[in-house]
Structure 1
């Protein structure tokens, strides 16, 4: 419906008498206001009519869907009650069952499903965290096919501590190589029970979070430790210094913080050390100069401060050495000229100062040396491979 057009503006007539003219003006003004109000009233009536029409259509639509919605709602409620009823009956029936019997019952449920019950009641949690359930469950499910065993190995990271210990002693204690990638949405952490895997030679984990537990220092047979590219946090535990057989340690891109433990210097068999792309702070421990077998040494992209220890000049087997993108200050120690096997040296984007040591002329294997991004460095001899 189209609203009526607005009324024409009021006309006025002139009079000769002042008092009569004033009265007529008032009358004309009142008539004009009355016409305007009438027009607005018509507009409002039109709007109301339109709204009533739309309301009627909407009401009809709601009425047509109400029966369908009601049916679907009743059907959904019925299905939910059917789902909840067996579990409620299950809990009620087990209410008076002794814990050892309940542990035996739950021991027949696969670990992938049973551990979720710990969130439903304190009693389930207590039983599932107990030693009896752990023994029964591990005994029942550890004779499965290889694919099932691989699944259990991943469940190991999510299981209660008692189950972890039992499973580790039964199935993992003789393993020498573990390379696990966690690709689910669950939060995996390295458990303290990792200490039981003391025959491991290789440990490679991806998709894990949390801190590196101090118990990792119990893996005394370990030669290769790779926890790189994980969402870890916290410091590098000094207990890693107990891994005297370690040859490779890769903790790069892990978001680790804190200082580098001087105990790392006890890992005298190390050939590769990569701690780059973390948030490590503090100074470079002079004890790292004890790593005489080291060939690849990477501490780049951290927040390390202080000077470069002259003891690092004892790492005569180094071929790759990167301290780039830190906050190191002071001069480059001339002892680095002892690294005759060094092929690549990266010191750029620090705050180093002073002269490039002439001892660098003894680095006969050097192929690239980038010292750019250090405002105070000076090169006063001819060595084309050095960039400043």
Structure 2
């Protein structure tokens, strides 16, 4: 990764992290995290073996509530959409409120065998890395801070969020910022395991399901009198394939799934496709979205015209359904969350190896201009989103250490002021 054009870490951030890392209680917490790696990986395995498909996270959520209580946090609840929210109260009621969250859901459907198999330092199991590593890191951060008696000026929400994956559409994060009523001033999402990665950008995505419906009929008897839903989708898909997307900012599209038809000798009465559109900026994504929607409308119109079908009862019709809406956003390099996280990396001797963008729970606050990023849990996840996923338990202490130091810089300690500003509209 090229880093020569990335602005340096500010002196304020460096000095704050140096001071924080030298506090006796923080040194105690850092050491505790380092010494608890055996217990921490057992926790990660335990969580992995609790199934949590998107939209069905409730059993895992219940266990995380129990674990937060065991860590010493008293104010823990499940909010209106299913997020686990544990409140760490700061000493300053006017201080900032930081959320630290890892998503609880996995991409795997109900019935998937989530039993974990260990081979040395390697652990095999669907979801063992994404995102049980993140949940482990958040809980270990909380446990260490409580055990060491750390005090903060601002307050922290320790969270397990729902619906980050796939069609979950970051619904837990959206709820936090749109409907919870909590005056959150910043977010540290915890996802992935590469502690050298810090995100300054959020890749937005719009996802659409296009369904073509018609009367259908026999492949021979109705030929020429009935248009085909599958043919219309194929015509539209060919138009989409020739579309050009901007390279800067990178904007992409794909028809991800196609479903339809009854049998080989039936003119299809229904066919649907799911389309994914992504970009780092909303404007090119919306422009491409308009072209794609036009292509599917044109495909239906063309198939009706090919067969001369003018009777509305016999024509194909298009049904559009938006099934995903993840907003895009970028944070400036002097954003306090980025500065605090980079300074915490430097304090721990972690090189910045991936300063980029992805699609995470941080998308929502980034799109709103709220200080936010995504940090990682430590270790190394591989074959993510497959049933062959595995996790190498190497240097797993670095994740919670990085999260803790970043958070303390943002909310402030007895010896430092908060780097995270309180947003105007969230003042009480």
Per the TM superposition, whether the score is higher than 0.5 is no
Instruction: Report the structure number with the largest CA radius of gyration.
Output: 1
Give me the TM-score of the superposition, normalised by structure 2.
0.22
Give me the TM-score of the superposition, normalised by structure 1.
0.23
Relative contact order, higher structure (CA 8 A, sep 6+): 2
